[in-house]
Structure 1
Amino acid sequence: MTQDPLLTGLAALAAEPPESLLDRIAARWVRVPAPIGELTVAYTDHGIAYVHAGDGFTQAFRERFGRPLLPAARPPAGLLPALRTGRLSGLRLDLRGLSDFQRAVLEATRAIPRGEVRPYSWIAARIGSPRAVRAVGTALGRNPVPLLIPCHRVTRSDGAVGDYVFGTTAKERLLLAEGVDLDRLRGLAGERVFYLASDTTGVVCFPTCHNARRITPAHRHGFRSVAQARAAGYRPCRTCRPAEDVPA
């Protein structure tokens, strides 16, 4: 890490600046283990701000956030379990600087349970912008805190996992570790099946919804769209909330 001019100036003061001042000016960084390997994490007095893999962390952080960096003695409390599970459990995130649209996309993404996936179109519909599927993908690609906000759980409707800030292979590893049956999803997509319904409950779900996983083969019916399922007499699941759109 190269020294920042602002920190150099503070070091030249006659007295040590208080930690509270430093934390308002600078960010702290720490290297931590994660399910996809070692990551570098930066945090401010407002919470975790940036999660990065590989080289170029300092330059990438400064270009994006404009804050100097200081090494931290230890990770913030709760960070390591949050990286493993995706459950924040009180861990704060610093999402300042994001647009309202980006924040809405990330908040919707946080609602996807571990072991389940949703299409990009679901995020767009959930935030009230059903035509903004590409913009949703762009916002997820710029997610500053992947793993903590689980953008790896947003996939394409054609059975492909889609892009990911840490690469497609890492995305697949994370989903498989969470129990997502990617081969089954690809197989269903190949048959143009994007929703599963139960003739016992009368409910239609996304295939990875925990309610869909309980449907026995004899009572399972596949549909291309929620509209098609509605026409057959099924109602959308209140848990996974499938969108009223045709996957693309």
Structure 2
Amino acid sequence: MTTARRYALFDTALGVCGVCWTAPDVIVAVALPEDDRADMERYLASFDAEPGAPAPVAGTIDLIRGLMAGSDVDLSAVPVDIADLPDFDRRVYAITRDIPRGRVLTYGAVASRLGQPGAAQAVGRALGRNPIPVVIPCHRVVGAGTEVGGFSAPGGAATKSRILAAEKVSGFGEPTLF
């Protein structure tokens, strides 16, 4: 028997977000703000989910709202379903989930923690596939120096910079002379 998946959209300080979950409250996907609500709903529905009342994940929604508003929240205990993802991705996400709010690691540092110091680009690709952004805080992985690095969510690096700013991380994404 397959567990039914549901999704819901909700407002945050940075725009409308969405969450997809399976019973009882395990997160399968998060959709970050974008202009087209229909695109967001199509994305969440692609996880074999139907619209639903968000009561089972109200606590997670409140935490995501808090993060987007700049509150000091911790999403590391939110249960996620990543069992069907590739092993490398799951290992990257485990390291990423351990990055505390307000801190960042570089792609190279994550690769080193994996025991694969030459795998920074592979780390970036894994983070680009992250179906559960902010809960698995891929926005906390940045390029070397002051480079924000890529971000596959709508709005790209600008969205990543906005989330980092909400977490009071400074110095990333600002223009430099060199």
TM-score range, shorter chain: 0.7 to 0.9
The question of 1:178 aligning with 2:164 is answered no
Letter in 1 for 2:142: T
C-alpha displacement of 1:36: 2.3
C-alpha displacement of 1:184: 10
Spell out the pairing of 1:56-205 with structure 2 (5 A cutoff): 56-63=39-46, 65=47, 67-74=48-55, 76-83=57-64, 84-85=66-67, 87-88=74-75, 90-166=77-153, 167-182=156-171
Contact 1:78–1:88 (8 Å) recurs in 2: no
Higher relative contact order (CA 8 A, sep 6+): 2
List runs of 5+ in structure 1 lacking aligned partners.
1-20, 191-248
In structure 1, C-alpha distance between the alignment counterparts of 2:77 and 2:122, rounded to whole Å: 29
In structure 2, C-alpha distance between the alignment counterparts of 1:185 and 1:116, rounded to whole Å: 17
Q: Tell me the alpha carbon deviations over residues 19-77 of structure 1, each in whole angstroms, 9 at most, x when there is no partner.
A: xx6xx4421111122342111211012601011143423443454x3x24242253614
In structure 2, C-alpha distance between the alignment counterparts of 1:108 and 1:82, rounded to whole Å: 20
Q: Identity of paired residues, percent? A: 35
SS at match of 1:43: strand
Q: How many residues align?
A: 165
- TM-score with structure 1 setting the length: 0.59
The question of 1:34 aligning with 2:24 is answered no
List runs of 5+ in structure 2 lacking aligned partners.
68-72
C-alpha displacement of 1:185: 8.4
CA spacing shift, 1:50–1:159, aligned 2, 3 Å: same
CA spacing shift, 1:151–1:68, aligned 2, 3 Å: closer
Picking from 30, 52, 58, the partner of 2:31 is: 52
Spell out the pairing of 1:224-235 with structure 2 (5 A cutoff): none
